[in-house]
C-alpha cells in the first residue's frame, strides 16, 4: 500500500508536465519534437539491440547511485528537487536532482545549457518518455549512450572497461566522474569515494527519503 501511495504521489505531480509536453508535440514545435524523436529512436535502438554486454546488474547499480527513487517517479523526482533547493539555500552548495530519465535525455539531445529553460524542457521530455517506455528500458538505453570518459562511450565503452577489469560500480562512478585521458590520483580518489558511497547506500548504511530496497 505504501508503494502505491508513493507512486500515486509522483504520478499526480507529473501529469501537468506530461500534458504540457503532449501539447507542445501536438503543436509541432520543431526543436522540442526533434529532441523527443531522438529520444524515442535511441530507445527503440536499445530495445532492439542484442547487446554485447550484460547491463542488467550495472543498471541496478546505476539506480542506487543516481536515482534511488527510480521505482516510484515518472521521470521527475520532486523530492530530489526540494532536497537540492534546501541544500542550495542552507549551505550554498549546488546539488543535482536529475533522474536517470533526465540524464538520458541530456545524453541524447546533447543540450547542457545551465539555465531553468533547459531543465524544464528536460523534465517535460523525461515525463513523456517515462510514460511511453518502461523504466528498465530507459535505464539500459542510458547506459548504452552514456559517456564514461575519453574513448569510452556507450555500450562499446562498457565492454572495453569490463575487459580492462574495471568493476561495475566503478563504471557507474565514471558517469559522474568521467575517466580522464591520463591517470590522476585526484580522479582515482573521487572514484574510490563514489564507489564507497554507492556501497553504503546499497547496504542501507545511508538512509534516504523513500529509498527503494536493493537486493543485489
Is the torsion defined by CA of 194, 200, 138, 160 positive or negative?
positive
Distance CA(12)–CA(211), nearest Å, equals 19
Q: What is the pLDDT of residue 49?
A: 87
What is the per-residue pLDDT across 122-178, written as a single tens digit (0 to 9) for each? 999 999 999 999 999 999 999 999 999 988 999 999 999 999 999 999 999 999 999
Average predicted confidence (pLDDT) for the chain: 91
Q: With beta carbons less than 8 A apart as the criterion, state whether 51 and 40 touch.
A: no
What is the per-residue pLDDT across 49-77, written as a single tens digit (0 to 9) for each? 877 667 999 999 999 999 999 999 999 99
pTM for this entry: 0.91
In the numeric block, which cell numbers belong to residue 198? Answer: 554507492
Distance CA(15)–CA(5), nearest Å, equals 16
Amino acid at each position: 500500500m505504501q508503494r502505491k501511495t508513493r507512486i500515486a504521489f509522483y504520478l499526480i505531480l507529473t501529469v501537468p508536465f506530461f500534458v504540457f509536453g503532449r501539447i507542445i508535440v501536438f503543436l509541432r514545435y520543431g526543436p522540442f519534437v526533434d529532441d523527443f524523436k531522438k529520444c524515442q529512436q535511441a530507445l527503440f535502438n536499445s530495445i532492439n539491440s542484442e547487446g554485447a554486454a550484460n547491463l542488467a546488474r550495472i543498471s541496478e547499480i546505476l539506480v542506487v547511485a543516481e536515482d534511488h527513487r527510480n521505482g516510484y517517479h515518472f521521470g521527475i523526482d520532486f523530492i530530489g528537487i526540494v532536497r537540492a533547493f534546501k541544500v542550495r539555500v542552507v549551505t550554498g552548495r549546488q546539488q543535482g536532482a536529475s533522474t536517470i530519465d533526465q540524464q538520458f535525455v541530456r545524453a541524447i539531445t546533447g543540450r547542457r545549457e545551465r539555465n531553468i529553460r533547459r531543465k524544464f524542457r528536460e523534465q517535460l521530455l523525461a515525463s513523456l518518455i517515462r510514460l511511453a517506455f518502461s523504466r528498465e528500458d530507459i535505464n539500459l538505453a542510458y547506459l548504452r549512450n552514456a559517456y564514461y570518459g575519453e574513448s569510452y562511450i556507450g555500450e562499446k565503452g562498457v565492454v572495453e572497461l569490463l575487459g580492462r577489469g574495471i568493476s561495475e560500480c566503478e563504471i557507474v562512478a565514471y558517469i559522474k566522474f568521467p575517466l580522464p585521458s591520463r591517470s590522476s590520483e585526484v580522479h582515482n580518489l573521487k572514484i574510490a569515494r563514489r564507489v564507497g558511497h554507492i556501497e553504503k547506500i546499497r547496504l542501507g548504511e545511508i538512509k534516504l527519503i523513500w529509498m527503494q530496497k536493493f537486493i543485489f
